[in-house]
Structure 1
Amino acid sequence: MNLQTEIQLHSQKHNQIDYSSKLLLLGSCFSENIGNKFQYYKFQSSLNPFGILFHPLAIENLISRSVNKEYYIEEDLYFQNEQWCCLDAHSKLSSTSKEELLARLNRQIDNTNNYLSTATHVIITLGTSWVYRHIASDAIVANCHKLPQKQFLKELLSVEQVSESFEATISLVRSVNPKVSFIFTVSPVRHLKDGFIQNTQSKSHLISAIHNVVEPRKQQYYFPSYEIMMDELRDYRFYNEDMLHPNNLAINCIWDKFKNVWISENTELTMQEVDVVQKGLKHKPFNIKSEAHQLFVTKLQSHIKDLCNKYPHFSFD
């Protein structure tokens, strides 16, 4: 008896990810979950340089600024809750110092500009089609930073608007890196503050828009994170206590699916070695001075040295 439906996925034949790949991950908090996996296994990756971004226009805006090196100035900043923030970026970049915030934002523009020119894969995870328009500037923002709600208007992006944003993002990146591959996915996180029906409508706009731009011949792909969560896992035991975010079990299930599609078998062998080292580094001995532990440390350091000699970008600090 089969008690679970399974989404049939096939290994990607071209443009697979290996340890020579350079990955840029952008988007919702689910992109952080997958990005953390890549970082754990020591892939060359940059994860959300401007913090979590939930909707396509926020990603397009920051890609545009990075490609064109359009730096931020003081007039782009706001003072709220005793710190300076930028409505284009996540609060993790905010600072009590205006100068420090500007330096962080513009440093990330430079970093992202440099990374885009050499990236092999851009992985974009979308969370919602709902956006907030800042009334005073008439600009769609990435983050409201708890500014008074009356300063914003809430809008739902149409399928056409989302598709146009994707096309613009692809065009911008390809202007500096023609050979890059795009992998689009939709976050399985439930945005229930928008409402149950509104969340479904929002996700449907994202999915429809992505399929308007997916074209493997142009190295533009879709990975069904959302469908795996909704149709294959489809059980509340795969959610955290908030019933909104996938738990570690669900994240691991989706990661395994992604790995089977996008990561080559030879690369997986190295990943297993990296996992052994990572677990070894977390090992807590009963007696740090024991002969057995000293031998364990020696073997572990030898393993690390071998991996770092083979892959110079590895660092286990």
Structure 2
Amino acid sequence: ETNQVVANCHKVPAKTFSRELNSIESNIRAFDIMLYRLHRFNPNIKVMFTVSPVRHIKDGIIENNRSKARLLETVHHLVDKFDKLYYFPAYEIMVDVLRDYRFYDIDLVHPNYAGTSYVLELFKQSCMSEETIAVSEKMHKIFLAKKHRPFNPESEQHKVFLDKNYRQCLELSKQYPHLDFGEELDYFER
């Protein structure tokens, strides 16, 4: 109706849209504009690209591969052209390194826990400092603790558990004020 380009829209019926495969050139133009604006907003910005390893097979495996190929070509053109642009090969890791289907969910499209864990570990090793890894591991423990459902919420043991995690959230909040632990602090304070 509006002839505007969209990546996806789940609020409007699919029949409303026509699908077309963008050219590499039009992708590069669109990213050039976006990256120029981002750089003007923040000259020190660093951008990490990756391509989703999820196969979009609704239009067929051939169309999926054509689309991924254009996206990969676009991204590598940009990374070669600009400083402070990087590429993490999540797609290649899943398709070429973990090509065995035991790393995929039952639908054979989505990576399973083992696949995503392997990719995440490689991402951490190649893209995160030791400090960032340590903080992310502490945060992960807090998020897991928040999901924990106690057998006896009134027990002394559970109160100690809540207090320990509350103090951990406070400590991380003081060390890293840009991280928001408001929801977790509220949860562990009860």
- In the superposition, the TM-score normalised over structure 1's length comes to 0.52
What are the superposed Cα offsets for residues 125-168 of structure 1, whole Å, 9 maximum, x if unpaired? xxxxxxxxxxx43332333544363x543321112222222212
Q: Indicate how the Cα distance of structure 1 residues 193 and 182 shifts in structure 2: closer, same or farther if over 3 A, else same.
A: same
**Structure 2 residue aligned with 1:278:** 143
Structure 1 partner of 2:104? 239
Give, in whole Å, the separation in 1 of the partners of 2:94 and 2:128: 20
1:211-230 equivalences in 2 (<5 Å)? 211-215=76-80, 218-230=83-95
Question: Structure 1 or 2: larger helix share?
Answer: 2
One of 46, 51, 69 as aligned partner of 1:181: 46
CA distance in structure 2 between the aligned counterparts of 1:148 and 1:302, rounded to whole angstroms: 48
Go from structure 1 to structure 2 and tell me whether the alpha carbon gap of 1:293 and 1:138 turns closer, same or farther (over 3 Å shift).
Answer: closer
Higher strand share: 1
Identify which of 248, 251, 262 aligns with 2:127: 262
Q: Go from structure 1 to structure 2 and tell me whether the alpha carbon gap of 1:211 and 1:148 turns closer, same or farther (over 3 Å shift).
A: closer
Q: Provide the rounded CA distance (Å) in 2 between the counterparts of 1:228 and 1:187.
A: 11
**Shift of the alpha carbon at 1:217?**
6.4
**Aligned with 2:57 (options 192, 195, 212):** 192
What number of residue pairs does the alignment pair up? 181
Residue 303 of structure 1 deviates from its aligned partner by 2.3
Q: Identity rate of aligned residues, in percent? A: 38
Cα offsets for 1:161-216 (capped at 9, x unmatched):
22222212111211222221111111111111121111111111111111111048
2:19 is paired with a residue whose SS is strand
Q: Cα distance 1:278–1:178, how it changes in 2: closer, same or farther (>3 A)?
A: same
Q: Determine the structure 2 residue equivalent to 1:147.
A: 13
- The CA deviation string for residues 103-145 of structure 1, in whole angstroms up to 9 with x for no partner, is xxxxxxxxxxxxxxxxxxxxxxxxxxxxxxxxx4333233354
Corresponding residue number in structure 2 for 1:299: 164
Q: Distance in 1 between matches of 2:96 and 2:81?
A: 24
Gaps of at least 5 residues in structure 1 are: 1-135
Distance change >3 Å, CA 196–CA 309, structure 1 → 2: same
Q: Describe the superposition over 1:12-42 as per-residue Cα deviations: whole angstroms up to 9, x where unpaired.
A: xxxxxxxxxxxxxxxxxxxxxxxxxxxxxxx
Computed over aligned residues only, the root mean square deviation of the Cα atoms, in angstroms, reads 2.2
The letter of the residue matching 1:314 is D
Structure 2, gaps ≥5 residues long? none
CA distance in 2, matches of 1:301, 1:187: 35
Q: How does 1:27-46 map to 2 (within 5 A)?
A: none
Matching of residues 8-23 of structure 1 within 5 Å: none
Relative contact order higher in (CA < 8 Å, ≥ 6 apart)? 1
What is the match of residue 314 of structure 1? 180
User: SS of the residue aligned with 2:18?
Assistant: strand
Q: Summarize the Cα distance change of 1:256–1:304 in structure 2 as closer, same or farther, 3 Å threshold.
A: same
**Matched-pair contact (CA < 8 Å) for 1:307–1:314:** no
